[in-house]
Amino acid sequence: MSQFTKNWERPRTETLAGRVKDAVKNDNAPLKPRLDIAMKQIQLQLSKLEAVSGKLKDRDDSIFNKVVSSIQKHDMQHASVFANELAEVRKMNVMVTQSKLALEQIVMRFNTIQELGDIVVTLSPAMSIIKNVKTGLGNVLPEADNSLAEISSSLSSILVDAGQIGGYNMNFNAANEEAQNILAEASTVAEQTVRDKFPDLPTNSQEIQTEEFPSSESL
């Protein structure tokens, strides 16, 4: 049996609590259980981001209707205030959607890991992606900061161990380039998703009447 096989999925007899503790904190623990736990942590963050996205949509619906109502009343001052608030909500929604798409890419890559070299190739850009997601979500989901920091620390430990076991040299330039490509693609898709999901704002009451402008709740 190869050293990688031994370190990838070593048989275990401890309790579940013991396995979790070892996988998270013990750098000598087999790599696969540690990766599995890291992936579950990322999936938990994805669930939280999905919940945040739903709340942002509800907030968008509410503010959007206030904009429309203000315009119908020819109260352009309040319409402008609400429109600015709505713009900020949609920026947050773009950031949340981008983060979701980027983390989903990490999970997809985790599922393709079969060999030791795959770990190095997969985790190197994943580290950079998580760092960027952590920074971007700072104002939107502050409670994710610690969780993402823990995930980053776990992946860093796994990456170092995998490199030492296999004697791999990590190409950080290539990893960072791949991470930036993933983030750029996620950003583009996120912006388009938000544009498609939410209607443009009307500029006056006549536009509302002539175009039968929909509320975002009807989408």
Query: Given the structure tokens 């929909």, which residue do they identify?
Result: 214
Please state the pTM of the whole predicted model.
Answer: 0.72
Query: Given the structure tokens 């502050």, which residue do they identify?
Result: 142
Domain ranges across the chain: 35-201
Task: Specify whether the CB–CB gap between 199 and 214 falls below 8 A.
Answer: yes
Euclidean distance between CA atoms 79 and 72, whole angstroms = 9
Task: Specify whether the CB–CB gap between 124 and 172 falls below 8 A.
Answer: yes
Residue 113: the pLDDT is: 75
Residue 135: the pLDDT is: 87
As a whole number, the mean pLDDT across the chain is 77
Q: What is the pLDDT along the chain (219 residues), one digit of tens a residue?
A: 555 455 545 444 444 334 433 433 444 557 778 888 888 999 999 999 999 999 999 999 999 999 989 988 888 899 999 999 999 999 999 999 999 999 999 898 888 776 666 777 778 888 889 988 988 888 788 888 888 899 988 888 888 887 665 555 555 566 678 888 888 899 999 988 888 888 777 666 555 544 444 444 444
The one-letter amino acid code at 213 reads F
Helix axes of 172-197 and 116-136: crossing angle, nearest 10 degrees = 50
Residue 169: the pLDDT is: 56
Residue 214: the pLDDT is: 47
Q: How many CB atoms lie within 10 A of CB 73?
A: 11
What φ, ψ does residue 218 adopt, rounded to 5°? -85, -5
What is the tens place of the pLDDT at every residue in 12-65? 444 433 443 343 344 455 777 888 888 899 999 999 999 999 999 999 999 999
Query: What residues contact 154, with CB distance under 8 A and at least 6 apart?
Result: 24, 34, 37, 38, 41
Task: Specify whether the CB–CB gap between 64 and 198 falls below 8 A.
Answer: yes
Q: The tokens of 62 are what?
A: 């509410």
Residue 42: the pLDDT is: 92
Q: The tokens of 155 are what?
A: 């992946």
Give the up-direction half-sphere exposure of residue 151: CA atoms within 13 A in the CB hemisphere: 28
